Homo-oligomer: A and B are copies of this chain.
């Protein structure tokens, strides 16, 4: 594919991915689509258990749900051979460049969607354009469809130009939402001297690029199961132990945990399900929550307090409480020198009309949320390497995670050109090897 073809393919890829929104660890169709596209480019991606540590997957859905998602992918045309190679595990990785050369840079592209119904409003472009999610209750409301498309575009662009002297690794990561997926791909960045992740939007407008975001918040995702005892709500309520009361008190109590004077944090419960029959004391309630903090120390303190809230609320009503951590990411910050170099590259790029490719390039930004790219960043930094988290500005129709979230696709092509430049720069440098 030449550049023009790639530029034309970008929105098509993104819209195809958008229409097949798959939640974390169920990205069977998406993985197959990515791998098939890479194969068409002549690459040899590894998929599923070939690339990931299956046992390190966090927050895994039930085998039933995995199997159902796999069946759906097949019914939607996913390549049988690829599905077979994947097994029950999603995700893909591909290296570009000479097999014998060292890998000098790993880039992360996340692929999963959210358990959120997509807007059907006519002013919502995916709805109007016919590529809204086909999967009820699931949609790409965070932009991972665009990230994945960027990954495909980058592979194509690197292959379309001069051969690379050193290897570049593209990680197509499952289950970024709830920071569950990176741990299973951790081995794939071990010893690599440079790491880069890119996220679209996050409050920056189209035309802006931030090459070294910081403030990736440490986050712990947890499920709490309150278990009580059923009883007739009128004849003998006293024989029951009401799991819903414990869950409700915990929900309010979690949000009541303090702001900290030494930096921001977040606490959230996004899902609560409990009970069943109206006239029966609920014997079970499940609450799904998360804590976040700007430092790992604060995150530890906050999650310890969240445990107190959950267990105390259970004790109030004579309930059991089982808390399971289903996702976890550390706090992370970009390396300033890497961010500076990435910014210099970005500033050097110009459009065909010889105007700056980006209206605004900045070396820092506050991420203000969590991403398990932090798992990779920390690992690379711990190994003496450098890591950066870039934000590719994109005008948004609605905030991330809103049902009518939509991005500005015009941000993608400049972003892709910059990513290519980064890869070529890194593959050309010697210092990458001894970072």
Across the interface, do B401 and A178 meet the contact criterion of CB distance under 8 Å? no
> Residue A87 at the B interface, CB < 8 A?
no
Given contacts A114-B280, A278-B289, contact A401 B230 (CB under 8 A): yes
Across the interface, do A368 and B256 meet the contact criterion of CB distance under 8 Å? no
- Bin chain A's interface residue count: 35 or more
> Residue A255 at the B interface, CB < 8 A?
yes
Main secondary structure of the interface of A (DSSP, over half): mixed
Across the interface, do A270 and B275 meet the contact criterion of CB distance under 8 Å? yes
Across the interface, do B202 and A277 meet the contact criterion of CB distance under 8 Å? no
Across the interface, do B280 and A233 meet the contact criterion of CB distance under 8 Å? no
For the complex, what is the distance from the CA of A379 to the CA of B19, rounded to whole Å?
A: 56
Given contacts A245-B252, A252-B249, A270-B282, contact A399 B276 (CB under 8 A): no
> Residue A253 at the B interface, CB < 8 A?
yes
For the complex, what is the distance from the CA of A260 to the CA of B308, rounded to whole Å?
A: 24
> Residue A316 at the B interface, CB < 8 A?
yes
A260, closest chain B residue (CB)? B238
Within 8 A of B (CB), among A386-405: 399-403
A331 to chain B, nearest CB (A): 13
Residues in B with CB closer than 8 Å to A312 are: 312-317
Residues in B with CB closer than 8 Å to A242 are: 258
Residues in B with CB closer than 8 Å to A258 are: 237-238, 240, 242, 255
> Residue A205 at the B interface, CB < 8 A?
no
Across the interface, do B116 and A261 meet the contact criterion of CB distance under 8 Å? no
Across the interface, do A253 and B249 meet the contact criterion of CB distance under 8 Å? yes
A327 to chain B, nearest CB (A): 8
> Residue A268 at the B interface, CB < 8 A?
yes
For the complex, what is the distance from the CA of A402 to the CA of B231, rounded to whole Å?
A: 5
A261, closest chain B residue (CB)? B236
A174 to chain B, nearest CB (A): 16
Within 8 A of B (CB), among A191-249: 202-203, 217, 219, 221, 230-240, 242, 244-245, 247-249
Across the interface, do A259 and B270 meet the contact criterion of CB distance under 8 Å? no
A256, closest chain B residue (CB)? B255
A302, closest chain B residue (CB)? B238
Across the interface, do A237 and B253 meet the contact criterion of CB distance under 8 Å? no
Across the interface, do B234 and A370 meet the contact criterion of CB distance under 8 Å? yes
New A-B contacts (4) at CB < 8 Å, excluding given A177-B279, A271-B274, A316-B316: A230-B403, A231-B401, A238-B301, A269-B278
10 A-B pairs (CB sep. < 8 Å): A117-B276, A221-B278, A230-B401, A236-B262, A248-B252, A248-B272, A259-B266, A283-B403, A308-B317, A316-B316
Instruction: List the interface of chain A (C-beta within 8 A of B).
Output: 114-117, 137, 141, 177-178, 202-203, 217, 219, 221, 230-240, 242, 244-245, 247-253, 255-256, 258-262, 264-283, 285, 288-290, 292, 298, 301, 305, 308-309, 311-318, 368-370, 399-403
